[in-house]
């Protein structure tokens, strides 16, 4: 049920994007499998040229497979997916280029959640819900920032486990000055040696 809803949503958005239609045509017949590890779920993605087909617990061979937790798989749509791959939080088998092309297609087809919700409950409730969700997300970000800042201040000032930022900046400036002084001294020594070698 959920797989067919997502498939319909992606194909509806496919019709609205010429670039996505072009990429879908180029991927015709290519298959990708996504394993959601924490849920024991497998979903197959296949381009039929003019549309995408999604299948749960698919059969057959796949050119590429990606596996990870739900949150890590969602995070692949973020700015730095390579960190997830390097850390092993998300694992890839098979054709990595195919995975990248499906990722680009997915970003083009990313749904507008407010628009999709309005199809189910109407414009006004969808707008209210989206506003609430944005507010909750902003509150979560602010709370996380505050917690991190408070923890950093505690470790820097109360427990002494971390160096306070101001002290670290002064230390690093001193290191930079020392490095510059050493570079200048080394240049003078080189110049003196060159002069001595030049003398008969």
Q: Are residues 128 and 76 in the same domain?
A: no
Asked if the structure places residue 163 within a domain, the reply is yes
**In CATH, what number is assigned to the domain containing residue 38?**
3.30.1050.10
Q: Are residues 21 and 99 in the same domain?
A: yes
Q: Are residues 68 and 18 in the same domain?
A: yes
Asked if the structure places residue 116 within a domain, the reply is no
d(CA 92, CA 95): 8
Q: Are residues 41 and 102 in the same domain?
A: yes
Asked if the structure places residue 132 within a domain, the reply is yes
Residues 21, 23, 28, 32: is their CA dihedral positive or negative? negative
| % of the chain beyond a pLDDT of 90 | 4
Q: Are residues 15 and 75 in the same domain?
A: yes
Q: Are residues 127 and 76 in the same domain?
A: no
Asked if the structure places residue 103 within a domain, the reply is yes
- Counting the structural domains of the chain, the total is 2
Among 77, 111, 145, identify where a domain stops.
111
Asked if the structure places residue 42 within a domain, the reply is yes
Asked if the structure places residue 54 within a domain, the reply is yes
Range of the domain at 168: 123-198
pTM of the entire predicted model: 0.53
Asked if the structure places residue 117 within a domain, the reply is no
d(CA 184, CA 115): 63
Provide the 10 A C-beta neighbour count for residue 31.
21
H-state helical runs in the chain: 2-14, 18-26, 70-75, 81-87, 96-108, 113-121, 123-153, 165-198
pLDDT at residue number 31: 92
Instruction: Render pLDDT for 40-82 as a digit per residue (tens, 0 to 9).
Output: 889 899 989 888 888 888 888 899 998 888 887 877 777 777 7
Instruction: Render pLDDT for 165-191 as a digit per residue (tens, 0 to 9).
Output: 677 777 788 888 888 888 888 888 877
Asked if the structure places residue 118 within a domain, the reply is no
Answer yes or no: is pLDDT of 130 > 70.
no
């Amino acid at each position: 049920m959920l797989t067919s809803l997502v498939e319909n949503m992606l194909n509806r958005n496919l019709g609205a994007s010429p670039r996505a239609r072009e990429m879908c045509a180029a991927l015709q017949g290519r298959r990708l499998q996504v394993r959601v590890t924490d849920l024991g779920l497998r979903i197959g993605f296949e381009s039929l040229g003019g549309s995408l087909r999604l299948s749960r617990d698919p059969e057959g061979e796949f050119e590429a497979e990606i596996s990870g937790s739900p949150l890590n798989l969602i995070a692949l749509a973020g700015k730095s997916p390579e960190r997830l791959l390097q850390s092993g939080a998300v694992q890839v088998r098979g054709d990595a280029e195919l995975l990248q092309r499906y990722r680009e297609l997915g970003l083009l087809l990313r749904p507008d959640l407010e628009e999709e919700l309005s199809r189910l409950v109407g414009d006004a409730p969808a707008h209210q819900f989206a506003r609430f969700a944005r507010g909750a997300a902003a509150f979560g970000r602010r709370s996380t920032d505050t917690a991190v800042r408070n923890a950093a201040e505690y470790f820097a000032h109360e427990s002494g486990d971390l160096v306070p930022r101001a002290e670290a900046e002064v230390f690093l400036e001193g290191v930079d000055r020392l490095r510059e002084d050493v570079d200048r001294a080394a240049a003078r020594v080189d110049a003196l040696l060159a002069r001595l070698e030049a003398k008969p």
